[in-house]
């Protein structure tokens, strides 16, 4: 494996810090329609979550997107994710704080600016021909209670009106856009929040399961009732209680009645084995492979085998560091090998959870993509996913160590050198606007930047070895 980070000396006038993205990976650009949920699930291949971003509940305006410490989402981020081999993006969105309430809190109108911003990011994905999963996320949490699994009319009205507006806003989007009714609906803050006996739910959980079935049905009815052909054709993901194994395996969970045949999928979150994915264990054990297979086998038998796809909307294994800076990389690669092999064989596409935290943070260090620098914290982990799934045409870990970028002293020029054949350079502002694009040839090139203001830019340099992303600071 080549070195992931390459350092360069700083200059008084210009500094270029080396970062990386992967080679191009393309999906079909054709309009997608008429596919069953099973066919769509097979096309999704593998996905990535834009976590802790639009699902953040830190404010009620557009700043909410960055309120949990994430950078502003750009086209370049989504492009880099796609180039790494991911052709599906899950976009978790909280709507409650971005909806105006009326009639004693029983009605909701989504803020136009918020909806427009969500659509902008969905369009970023469409520009890359990616699938997008859009949902209602975190609006059942304490401190922002908008819906809960109780029959109070208030929650039912929220689900109904939010999905009515989302369906209208995206009525012209084809089957690349998938709707997920809710994220992890559960009895927040109770002893039954994350687990219950699926054979014999307690007196508190049983009515919650009935209400969940009703909420899923309301969501499907609003989406199909929009009237557009695209919404009639759209794949809809329906979660069980807490989107957990027990929630979809209990006999009390029922998929909604759908006027469009073969367009429903089960939404399942599976951080398994829990001990190493979210718990305190650091090391991989061979016994975990059997545990993963035993976990997914009954789900496959109940759903996938009967042409009801299961989409794993969240999964990951936490990175854990000791005091010497060592982290459990080899154990995580073993996990990828087993987890993705088993879910691949069962026909369950996985969407990697990413909260952009790559350090010891309990069981929640699920940072994979460094969104600020457009690099991967754990490129070997990402490459392993692609290798297991047989996704070719990507290069997540190979770095052009011969590439150097730096200042040409006393001029408004930057130079690029490489042992590999240079092909092109594109420079983008922090807002994502392309401000310079130029073909370059040979192994050495000088590029004039006198037209650029001093500041931070992103440069995409392509060689015959791959696509490299570089951060440029013009001082």
Strand partners, 88: 47, 131
User: Is residue 236 domain-resident?
Assistant: yes
Judgement on whether residues 305 and 449 belong to the same structural domain of the protein: no
Identify whether 329 is part of a domain: yes
Residue 249 placed within a domain: yes
- Shortest CA distance to 457 belongs to which of 74, 125, 81, 82? 74
Q: pLDDT value at position 17? A: 27
- pLDDT value of residue 413: 82
Using one digit for the tens of pLDDT, what is the confidence trace for 134-145?
Answer: 999 999 876 667
Q: Which residues of 360-378 are buried (b: 16+ CB within 10 A; e: fewer)?
A: eeebebbbbbbbebbbbbb
- Of residues 127, 224, 128, 122, the one with CA closest to residue 177: 122
* 364 and 455 inside one domain: no
363 and 285 in a common domain: yes
Structural domain including 379 reads 26-389
Q: What is the DSSP letter of 453?
A: P
Structure tokens at 122: 């969905």
Low-confidence ranges of the chain (pLDDT < 70): 1-30, 103-106, 142-144, 323-326, 360-361, 395-411, 430-433, 464-471
Number of domains in the chain: 2
User: Is residue 160 situated within a structural domain?
Assistant: yes
Tokens of 191: 């002893």
In a domain, 99, yes or no: yes
Query: Residue 465: its pLDDT value, please?
Result: 61
Residue 271 phi, psi dihedral angles, 5° rounding = -90, 85
Could you tell me if 202 and 281 lie in one domain?
yes
Q: Is residue 241 domain-shared with residue 321, that is, in the same domain?
A: yes
Whose CA is closest to 304, among 86, 42, 89?
42
Q: Which residues are catalytic?
A: 184, 314
- Domain match, 416 and 371 both: no
CATH of the domain at 431: 2.60.40.1220
Examine the domain organization and report whether 424 and 337 are in the same domain. Answer: no
> Is 13 among the domain residues?
no
Contacts of residue 349, Cβ cutoff 8 Å, sequence gap at least 6? 41, 42, 44, 45, 46, 47, 88, 311, 312, 343
């Amino acid at each position: 494996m080549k070195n992931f980070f390459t350092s360069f000396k700083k200059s008084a006038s210009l500094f270029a810090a080396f970062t990386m993205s992967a080679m191009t990976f393309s999906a079909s650009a054709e309009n997608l329609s008429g596919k069953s949920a099973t066919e769509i699930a097979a096309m999704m291949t593998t996905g990535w979550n834009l976590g802790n971003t639009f699902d953040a509940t830190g404010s009620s305006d557009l700043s909410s997107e960055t309120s949990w410490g994430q950078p502003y989402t750009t086209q370049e981020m989504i492009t880099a994710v796609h180039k790494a081999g991911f052709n599906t993006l899950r976009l978790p969105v909280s709507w409650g704080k971005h909806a105006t309430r009326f009639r004693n809190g029983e009605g909701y109108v989504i803020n136009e600016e918020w909806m427009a911003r969500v659509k902008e990011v969905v369009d970023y994905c469409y520009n890359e021909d990616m699938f997008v999963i859009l949902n209602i996320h975190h609006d059942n949490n304490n401190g922002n209670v908008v819906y809960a699994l109780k029959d109070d009319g208030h929650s039912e009205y929220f689900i109904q009106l939010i999905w009515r507006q989302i369906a209208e806003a995206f009525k012209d989007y084809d089957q690349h856009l998938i709707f997920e009714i809710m994220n992890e609906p559960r009895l927040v803050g109770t002893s039954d929040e994350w687990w219950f006996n699926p054979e014999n739910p307690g007196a508190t959980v049983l009515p919650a399961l009935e209400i969940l079935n009703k909420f899923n049905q309301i969501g499907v009815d609003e989406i199909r009732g929009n009237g557009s052909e695209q919404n009639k054709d759209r794949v809809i993901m329906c979660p069980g209680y807490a989107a957990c194994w027990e929630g979809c395996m209990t006999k009390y969970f029922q998929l909604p009645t759908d006027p469009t045949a073969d367009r429903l999928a089960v939404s399942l979150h599976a951080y398994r084995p829990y001990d190493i994915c979210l718990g305190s264990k650091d090391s991989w054990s061979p016994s975990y492979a059997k545990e993963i297979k035993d976990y997914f086998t009954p789900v496959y038998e109940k759903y996938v085998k009967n042409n009801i796809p299961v989409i794993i909307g969240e999964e990951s294994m936490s990175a854990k560091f000791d005091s010497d800076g060592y982290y459990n990389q080899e154990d995580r690669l073993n996990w990828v090998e087993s987890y993705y092999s088993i879910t691949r064989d069962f026909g369950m596409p996985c969407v990697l959870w990413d909260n952009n935290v790559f350090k010891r943070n309990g069981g929640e260090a699920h940072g994979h993509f460094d969104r600020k620098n457009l690099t991967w914290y754990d490129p070997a982990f990402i490459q392993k996913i692609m290798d297991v799934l047989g996704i070719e045409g990507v290069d997540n870990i190979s770095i052009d160590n011969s590439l150097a970028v730096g200042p040409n002293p006393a001029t408004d020029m930057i130079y690029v050198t490489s042992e590999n054949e240079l092909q092109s350079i594109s420079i983008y502002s922090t807002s994502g606007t392309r401000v310079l694009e130029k073909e370059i040839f040979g192994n050495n090139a000088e590029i004039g930047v006198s037209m650029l203001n001093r500041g931070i830019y992103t440069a995409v340099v392509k060689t015959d070895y791959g696509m490299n992303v570089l951060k440029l600071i013009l001082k």
